Amino acid sequence: MLIDPVPPVAPEGIFSRRLRAMTVGSVALISLLAFEALAVGTAMPTVARSLDGLALYALAFGGSFASGVLAMVLSGIWCDVRGPRGPMWHGVAWFVAGLLIAGTAPVMSLLVVGRFVQGFGSGLLMVALYVIVGRVYPESTHRRVFAAFAAAWVVPSLVGPALAGLVVEHLGWRWVFLAVPAVAVPAVLLVNPGLRSVGAPDGGRAPRDAVARIGWACGAAASAALLHYGGQQRGPLAVGLVVAALVGLLVCAPRLLPAGFLRAGRGLPTVVGLRGLASAAFVGAEVVIPLLLSRERGLSPTAAGIALTVGAVSWSLGSWLQGRLPEPRSRATLPRVGMLCIGTGVAVFALALWPAVPVPVAVLGWSLSGLGMGLTYPTLSVLTLELSASGEQGRNSSSLQLSDALFAATVLASTGALLAGGPDPTAYLTALAVSAGLALLGSTLAGRVVVPAVPAR
């Protein structure tokens, strides 16, 4: 008797029936975080004038960043002990509460409080989303999930600043804050059903160093806020504040990152380090681009901004590609190629300083950097989950994002100090050379993401 063969089961995709709502809700939440991060920068000058709060302008940005650093560590511990559902709901609650406080603030000091609360919620939420990927999605889909997360930044990057400007002009700056909660709550409701079955990891309990990590996180958060504030000052005060902040970060940050981070130990330490190097390289160049194109090449702000848009679109393209390329022979391939693209693209863009080089050539270079980020970021996220035991996904996801945030803050402060005396070709070249150098260093270290197999005895 012939028996019909059992048809093979198709691999589950990120938009399968079981995962569709989870994917849509998670991508929507990241899009909201991205939109708010970009829109606030557009609205804040108007906010400061309206509330007569120019003195607190820097703190409105630095406070959100600092509270996010603390929240990332707390969320990592919480996810590993109780699972991601609690940090997810609390993250949305704090994020929405911060937006409401900021949007209704009668004075600048209260708006700064709202920004602290909002940043805390964002930090809780981002780590929880990474842990959800590790706990809910099949490992074979991780590359595509993180590609979707990267794509969630594209639309906010394209329309966020312009849309925020229209809202400020026609509805008032308060609606930049007050409109977002209307979407945030439905988004988390989509995610919630899939979280009901995600409990605490087996044997999940607070790590022995939990209290110490929270203390070091407070120190890193304070140092990050000081670094952000000092980077916007001028003269000896700026130098003193930035130096004090850097010392604080050098003392606190290594305690929050994997052992072996400073010596680029194989495996997770290098993965986390590469995330910081990629972020610093890209952001350090990104802040120079509109300034260089407008001042040295005479482009309008809109035209200069198109270069940043091209970078955002190519980032999304790179993320899409890494999610669909065949599995490379070595896990080091995509990070190495991605970091090399970032460094090469920054070097090509630097040619814009020479008038004989057409601006489109420089923009093409920046698109190569964006492509490199798209190849690198999701790959490092996938590697982090692969190298994490079930009870360590929160800790390691928070380390990955801490490295991203702290490296970026450090290079931004350094670039701000470099350009403070007035932009000139030497300052531009120095800033871009630092960015390219960081990316090429990352490409050199990329082989260390692979942990050699121990031969069987």
Q: Which of 3-17, 116-130, 144-158 has the lowest mean pLDDT?
A: 3-17
> Is residue 290 included in any domain, yes or no?
yes
Q: What is the DSSP string of 204-222?
A: ----TTHHHHHHHHHHHHH
Buried b (16+ CB within 10 A) or exposed e, 292-306: bbbebbebeeeebbe
Domain that holds residue 302: 259-450
Which residue type sits at 202? D
Q: Residue 396 and residue 220: Cα distance in Å, rounded?
A: 17
pLDDT surpasses 90 at 212: no
Q: Residue 352 and residue 228: Cα distance in Å, rounded?
A: 28
pLDDT surpasses 50 at 8: no
Domain harbouring 321, CATH code? 1.20.1250.20
Q: Residue 402 and residue 130: Cα distance in Å, rounded?
A: 13
> Is residue 133 included in any domain, yes or no?
no
Long-range contacts at 350-354 (CB < 8 A, ≥ 24 apart): 350/428, 350/429, 350/432, 350/433, 350/436, 352/292, 352/293, 352/296, 352/297, 353/292, 353/296, 353/425, 353/428, 353/429
> Is residue 407 included in any domain, yes or no?
yes
Residue ranges of alpha helices (H) inside 297-420 are 301-324, 333-350, 359-386, 393-419
> Is residue 51 included in any domain, yes or no?
no
For 262, residues 6+ apart whose C-beta sits below 8 A from its C-beta are 254
pLDDT surpasses 80 at 232: no
The tens digit of pLDDT for each residue in 304-337 reads 777 878 888 898 889 888 888 887 788 889 999 9
> Is residue 148 included in any domain, yes or no?
no
Residue 300 per-residue DSSP state:
-
Average pLDDT of span 230-253: 81
Which residue type sits at 287? V
> Is residue 357 included in any domain, yes or no?
yes
Q: What is the pLDDT of residue 438?
A: 95
Average pLDDT of span 126-138: 87
Residue 200 per-residue DSSP state:
P
Confidence of residue 35 (pLDDT cuts 50, 70, 90): confident
Place of tokens 């707390």: 74
pTM score: 0.83
Q: What is the pLDDT of residue 412?
A: 77
The pLDDT mean for the chain works out to 82
Q: Residue 143 and residue 267: Cα distance in Å, rounded?
A: 18
Sign of CA dihedral 81, 86, 90, 91: positive
Q: Residue 297 and residue 291: Cα distance in Å, rounded?
A: 10
- Tell me how crowded residue 178 is: count the other CB atoms within 10 A of its CB: 17
pLDDT surpasses 50 at 2: no
Structure token pair of residue 338: 């991605």
Rounded (to 5) percent helix, strand, coil in the chain: 80, 0, 20
> Is residue 419 included in any domain, yes or no?
yes
pLDDT surpasses 50 at 457: no
Q: Residue 370 and residue 308: Cα distance in Å, rounded?
A: 9
Q: Which of 88-97, 255-264, 296-305, 328-337 has the lowest mean pLDDT?
A: 296-305
pLDDT surpasses 80 at 192: no
Structure token pair of residue 115: 């920004």
Q: What is the DSSP string of 32-82?
A: HHHHHHHHHHHHHHHHHHHTT-GGGHHHHHHHHHHHHHHHHHHHHHHHHHH
Q: What is the pLDDT of residue 454?
A: 46
Q: Which of 139-148, 175-184, 214-223 has the lowest mean pLDDT?
A: 175-184
With beta carbons less than 8 A apart as the criterion, state whether 128 and 79 touch.
yes
Q: Which residue, 216, 204, 335, 352, is CA-closest to 292?
A: 352
> How many domains would you assign to the chain?
1
The tens digit of pLDDT for each residue in 353-378 reads 898 889 899 999 999 999 999 999 88
For residue 8, give the 3-state DSSP assignment. coil
For 113, residues 6+ apart whose C-beta sits below 8 A from its C-beta are 101, 105
The tens digit of pLDDT for each residue in 91-105 reads 989 999 998 998 888
With beta carbons less than 8 A apart as the criterion, state whether 133 and 142 touch.
yes
More confident residue, 171 or 71: 71
Give the C-alpha distances (Å, rounded to integers) separating 333 from 313, 328, 395, 443: 22, 7, 25, 10
> Is residue 370 included in any domain, yes or no?
yes
Residue 351 per-residue DSSP state:
G
More confident residue, 29 or 230: 29
Residue 354 per-residue DSSP state:
S
Share of the chain above pLDDT 90, in %: 16
pLDDT surpasses 70 at 119: yes
Return the ∠ at Cα 216 (arms to 199 and 414), rounded to 5°: 115
